[in-house]
């Protein structure tokens, strides 16, 4: 990152629910980003595939790592969702804006013998990112996300965008496409 002069707009550290990490190494790496006022998302993924004991241990490890980074007590904001802010006596101090989140996420429905479990905490994660980034950085994030989508998803996005532009143009010319198609059929 230093060689290429890359300045990240946020950091997402993903850990599998049954995985193992060296807490001191992870905390030291993430602390470098926190010092630069970059929002940190510690995300425990695939939480439905873990046993309750595995998930509890992963959560304990995440809480320890995030405490080592931020030095404050986590504020629980939902089910398996914890937010961190650096403490500062001066509200104008930029250090008070350093933020982090520890969250358990499944980004798609999960089916097993017990049935289908819903998407879990992805909206809370996105809300944290949107709230922690300025408008320009959030626009960069959205552009990156769109560019990383599957080819056919990107093709569909482009097609729908062109179709919507055409409909908007026709609407400005006072041509109502819905009525036009009703008359055709």
pLDDT in tens, 78-89: 888 999 986 655
Identify which of 120, 93, 98, 86 has the alpha carbon closest to the alpha carbon of residue 10. Answer: 98
* Separation of alpha carbons 138 and 140, rounded Å: 5
Question: Is the pLDDT confidence value at 11 over 80?
Answer: yes
Position 173 confidence tier, pLDDT thresholds 50, 70, 90 = confident
Q: Which two tokens stand for residue 158?
A: 């482009």
Question: What pLDDT sits at residue 95?
Answer: 44
**Where are the domains positioned within the chain?**
11-134, 151-184
181, pLDDT greater than 80: no
User: Please, which pLDDT band fits residue 154 given cuts at 50, 70 and 90?
Assistant: confident
More reliable by pLDDT, 81 or 19: 81
**pLDDT single digits (tens) 21-52:** 788 999 999 999 998 889 999 999 888 877 88
The mean pLDDT value for 133-155 works out to 81
Pairing of strands 81-85, 115-117: unpaired
* Residue 178 pLDDT greater than 70, yes or no: no
pLDDT digits (tens, 9 = 90+) for 44-77: 988 887 788 888 888 899 999 999 999 888 899 8
Q: Is 80 exposed, middle or buried (0-12, 13-18, 19+ CB in 10 A)?
A: middle
Selected residue with higher pLDDT from 26 and 146: 26
User: pTM to 2 decimals?
Assistant: 0.70
| Residue range 99-107: mean pLDDT, rounded | 90
């Amino acid at each position: 990152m230093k060689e290429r002069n890359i300045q990240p707009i946020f950091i997402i550290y993903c850990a599998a629910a049954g995985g193992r990490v060296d807490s001191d190494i992870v905390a030291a790496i993430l602390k470098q980003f926190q010092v630069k006022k970059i929002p940190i998302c510690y995300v425990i993924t695939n939480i439905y595939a873990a046993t309750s004991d595995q998930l509890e241990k992963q959560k304990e490890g995440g809480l320890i790592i995030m405490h080592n980074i931020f030095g404050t007590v986590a504020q629980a904001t939902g089910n398996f969702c914890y937010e961190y802010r650096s403490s500062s006596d001066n509200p104008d101090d930029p250090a008070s804006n350093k933020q982090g989140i520890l969250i358990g996420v499944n980004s798609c429905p999960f089916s097993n013998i017990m049935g289908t479990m819903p998407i879990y905490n992805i909206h809370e994660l996105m809300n944290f990112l949107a709230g922690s980034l300025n408008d320009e950085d959030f626009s960069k994030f959205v552009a990156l996300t769109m560019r990383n989508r599957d080819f056919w998803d990107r093709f569909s996005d482009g097609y729908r965008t062109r179709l919507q532009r055409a409909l908007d143009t026709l609407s400005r010319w006072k041509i109502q496409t819905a009525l036009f198609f009703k008359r055709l059929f």
